[in-house]
Amino acid sequence: MNENRNIMIRGREYTFIHNEKTGNLEKDVAAVARILAKDNNNITAAERFQLLNIYRPAYHTGGKIEGITSFDSTATNCEFCQAMREAAKNNPLHICGYCYDFDQEHGFKGVNILNRHSLNMIIMSSLEYTVDELRAALNVSYLNRINSSGDVPNVIYAKNMIRICYAFSVVRFAFWAKNVAAVVAACDELGKPENLILVQSSVIIGKPAPLAKYFDFVFTVYLTKDETENAIEAGAGACNGKKCKDCGYKCYNGAWIDSGVKNVAEYLRIPGVKDAARAALVTTAA
């Protein structure tokens, strides 16, 4: 039986859904709440290491990003994502209106739900870690994705992700972001690691965003198959939207960069929505 419990972390109230299967997560939530109740300057080295041991990157054995380790945020607790979701209410072509995190992640349909992804985001956005701390605590694979869900909540999070890249300089990272300003600020301070590919997610469906400083290419989804094919014919890279391994992990291994691609196109898959309805949506939005 589920029981909702309200938990305060850094002045923000979250809902933790307790049941017989959430024991380990509940212990981690309690530890994070206890440690982050302190001022950052009063958190001990042991407590910092404890937070990083609670942080859980996920290695994917199936699905679209099979063979990749992901370092994820979550839209449901990210204030940047919540603001973007609100903006999407006034624009049917705003990509955040189709966010699977808000509607599907772990079956929850609310905001400020504490799950593993949101706990990861809180840990990485609350205090800065050193390269040595990150190297000692985390595990990576050869190919790694930052933000397969969610986005960048603040500059602290962006700096921690960049330091992770520095900590594991012999493997590759692809960092997806819509919160370009936070990533640019982090790179301005820390530089851009050579093993990092920055992917700027276009906010408007069918409209590639202007490529920001430090970013290698934009990733744009299109409403109709015709639009997608037209973009590819015009020079965009083609994402089949199924499994990254099917195209040889081009977003991760530098292949798009080597071939001069500045926009990668993907057909937006919305269950039950056919191309005719998509075309009508485009007309309405225009």
Residue 281: how many CB atoms within 10 A of its CB?
17
Judge whether 159 and 128 are in contact, CB under 8 Å. yes
228: buried, middle or exposed (CB in 10 Å: 19+, 13-18, 0-12)?
A: buried
Q: Where are the domains of the chain?
A: 3-285
Judge whether 208 and 263 are in contact, CB under 8 Å. yes
Judge whether 25 and 36 are in contact, CB under 8 Å. no
pLDDT score recorded for residue 54: 95
pLDDT score recorded for residue 4: 82
What's the pLDDT tens digit per position in 166-220?
999 999 999 999 999 999 999 999 999 999 999 999 999 999 999 999 999 999 9
Q: Which stretches of the chain score pLDDT less than 50?
A: 105-109
pLDDT score recorded for residue 106: 42
Reduced to 3 states, what is the DSSP secondary structure of residue 117?
A: helix
pLDDT score recorded for residue 284: 56
Question: Residue 154 — φ and ψ, nearest 5°?
Answer: -165, 180
pLDDT score recorded for residue 283: 58
